[in-house]
Amino acid sequence: MADRIDVKTLDGSYPIIIARGLLSHINPAALGLNGQVALVSNTTVAPIYGEPLASALPNPSLITIPDGEHYKTLETVARLYSDFVAAGLDRSAVVVALGGGVVGDTVGFAAATYMRGVSFVQMPTSLLAMVDSSVGGKVGVDLPQGKNLVGAFKQPQQVIIDPDVLDSLPEREWRCGMAEIIKHGLLADEVLLELAQDYRVNIDEIIPRAIQVKVAVVEADPYERSIRAHLNLGHTFAHAIEQVSGYTWLHGEAVGVGLIAATLLSAQLRLCSPNLIELVESLIEDVGLPTRIDDLDPEAIWAAMATDKKWSHGRSRFVLLEGIGQPKIVNDVRKGDVIAVLEHIKDKDATQRRKDIRRLR
């Protein structure tokens, strides 16, 4: 049985198809992949899923890019343009991104700009990409100065999700995906927080529920002019942590601790109860994600935030929480308040941090 979620866009709609065995029993004609297809994956995923999938397509070109956030760059996009030309891709071709969020973002940006745009299909193979980055049409790459500073809106022709591929996903990547799922639960679906307690058992229910949270937001605000910014909960902290760490922190790991930081900041600004801190921290800890920033420098993290694309005219901008299902955008948060939060999650153990935050009240 397949789940299908249709995403309405300003130009029409596209389907998200979720079914076990989709990639191992691919039907190219049914999925619109019976013409010229450039299947782009990374060096980790291509041997496992890319090569078998390419052999099942009638007219494929299998292209690989290096694995890792370090390669989410304009240089990689330039290489893809050359590969597309060498493969003879024209405007009728379909570009398929097979991989995690880095593959989807990078390949999507190449598809959005090659010949001023060719059709694009997302085939996410990581949990994080399935529930978040493959949905909503945001594509792009990083610059040395910051994450996702170059990009575009490029709606996919479709998103094809086969949960069976999660069987080969490393445990660290499972945990990273759970960060975005917890985020979606905090924003709009408290049931996800309950399902997260036994996420491997509940994954077939978690995936469509988490996707539906994002779909509802991006349909209401496709170009992030208002409530779509709520999806950045924890991400102002997270993107800066990734950058300062030299991307040794994976995105989901940074989002997890970023959710704790955003909740701490919310309590410090008297927006939410300190009890919410304990809940968020326990959720992040229980799925095995880091809860401290260890040796990262709070001042360096604050400096990295200055290039965050969510800031405007140099004004700080954070998505915070007044409670579960109650996100709030707050501008002009003082540096001292942010540094205080970062210091609290730097070295102290969880119990001591909870006591400290209660004293902040």
Which residues have a catalytic role annotated? 116, 138, 180, 214, 224, 228, 232, 235, 239, 251
Cα–Cα distance for residue pair 139/153, rounded to 1 Å: 6
Q: In residues, how long is the chain?
A: 361
Contact predicate 243/147, CB 8 Å: yes
> Residue 147: beta bridge partners?
none
Neighbouring residues of 113: CB distance < 8 A, sequence distance ≥ 6: 77, 152
CA–CA separation, 125 and 255 (whole Å): 19
Angle between helices 298-305 and 235-244 (to 10 degrees): 110
Distance CA 30, CA 211 (A): 23
- Checking 236-239 for CB contacts under 8 A at 24+ apart, the result is 236/262, 236/305, 236/308, 236/310, 236/317, 236/318, 236/319, 237/261, 237/262, 237/301, 237/305, 237/342, 239/146, 239/147, 239/148, 239/304, 239/305, 239/308
Tokens representing 161 are: 């999700």
- The answer to whether 276 touches 259, Cβ cutoff 8 Å, is no
How far, in Å, are 175, 180, 280, 283, 351 from residue 259 at the CA level? 14, 10, 7, 10, 17
